[in-house]
Homo-oligomer: A and B are copies of this chain.
Amino acid sequence: MFGARCLVRALRPCSSAPCPRHKPSARLSVRDALGAQNTKGERVKVQGWIRSVRSQKEVLFLHINDGSSLESLQVVADSSFDSRELAFGSSVEVQGQLVKSPSKKQDVELKAEKIEVVGNCDAKDCGFVHIHTPIITSNDCEGAGELFQVEPSSKIKVPEKNFFSVPAFLTVSGQLHLEVMSGAFTQVFTFGPTFRAENSQSRRHLAEFYMVEAEISFVESLQDLMQVMEGLFKTATMTVLSNCPEDVELCHKFIAPGQKDRLEHMLKNNFLIISYTEAIEILKQASQNFTFTPEWGVDLHTEHEKYLVKHCGNIPVFVINYPLALKPFYMRDNEDGPQHTVAAVDLLVPGVGELFGGSLREERYHFLEPRLARSGLTEAYQWYLDLRRFGSVPHGGFGMGFERYLQCILGIDNIKDVIPFPRFTHSCIL
């Protein structure tokens, strides 16, 4: 639609300014455009995504990025170019003259003669419904680490009767509640605090931390799930870089030199995929000595995760299909063998190790029921089994640790530095 209007404008006889005769424009990457020396108004074409829009009375400023550089190219256009479609995230092709910028902020800028929207981006339309999953829950056996229990403070020393009639805990994940909601809303997410009562003093663990969790109905392959995960990582990062460039710059400049290049490297490349079995093979062949010997059937440790990411050239890597025995009851059985696996996926990233964890969920009643029975959980999870009895669908989801995500993009070594009021063993200040 915008292209069509440009065309109309081009066909209209010019009034005051003479029409420039257009030579065919050379296509440039944003990196090459930014690096151009002694520009003299060469006519060029740049393709990329809009990172920011500033609409003034007579001038429109756009910042365009194509992944070739973390920096964006400033496009200056007449306000008549302005349109609702020129929005954050839209892809555009801009033709114009590369000129010296009058501002000190950048050396060059692109004076637009034509702007064509290649693909619209209506961010409100992604179709995920935000659910507030509860903080206090009676689910206690998801196997995600030790739980905090809650009781009224006046009765904590003599908890004969539980406040909620049953023992109640702080949530370790909103997943099971999201699974309930995804049975009605198809695509749901939550963003909230989760808790682990683990006695850990590491630089990657907190007793209270935030997770983005998503659950998607009618998903049948890990491939589809990984696409959403990679998309979330890259889109969120582009948004942060676009909305808070000064804050990111501060970290990249003073706290984590080199992080800017490392992040650019992550954004530019497609994330890799290896199976757990391949991962174990890679670790076994490593020249490095590990504290924990890698072996099929044993969980990956942080040292393993970090090695795998390095081995993959510091590109984030999905590890898929973990041993069934290592994972909780709700993950989908791959029905393979002799090494029996489930459709689980972890995303490992440079510096941090595990950032996302996800899986296809076991939607088949006759697989889920015996697994729960074997763990003695049938009664406690009757409501969960019922979700498979009435209108069950293939589905899957994942969680991303939010503070670890901030560590990863900002290059912050200690997780306690990316949350305003960190809580961990022996520490609950204020």
Contacts and interface: CB of A to CB of B under 8 A. Distances in A.
B197 A153 contact: yes
Interface stretch (A101-109, A157-165, A255-263): A157-165
A97 interface: no
A87 B140 CA distance: 47
A203 interface: no
Interface stretch (A29-37, A229-237, A264-272, A417-425): A417-425
B164 A156 contact: no
Interface stretch (A20-28, A126-134, A369-377, A389-397): A126-134
Nearest to A402: B132
Contact of A134 (B147, B156, B169, B421): B421
Contacts of A133: 420-421
Interface string A194-205: 010100000000
A83 interface: yes
Contacts of A426: 164-165
Interface in A129-178: 131-140, 146-154, 156-157, 159, 163-170, 176-177
Contacts of A398: none
A138 B420 contact: no
A84 interface: yes
A383 to B, nearest CB: 6
A1 interface: yes
28 contacts: A83-B84, A84-B84, A131-B420, A132-B193, A132-B210, A132-B419, A133-B420, A134-B208, A135-B135, A136-B195, A136-B423, A137-B428, A139-B430, A147-B153, A148-B151, A148-B153, A149-B150, A151-B197, A152-B197, A153-B167, A153-B169, A153-B197, A164-B207, A164-B425, A164-B428, A168-B423, A180-B430, A192-B193
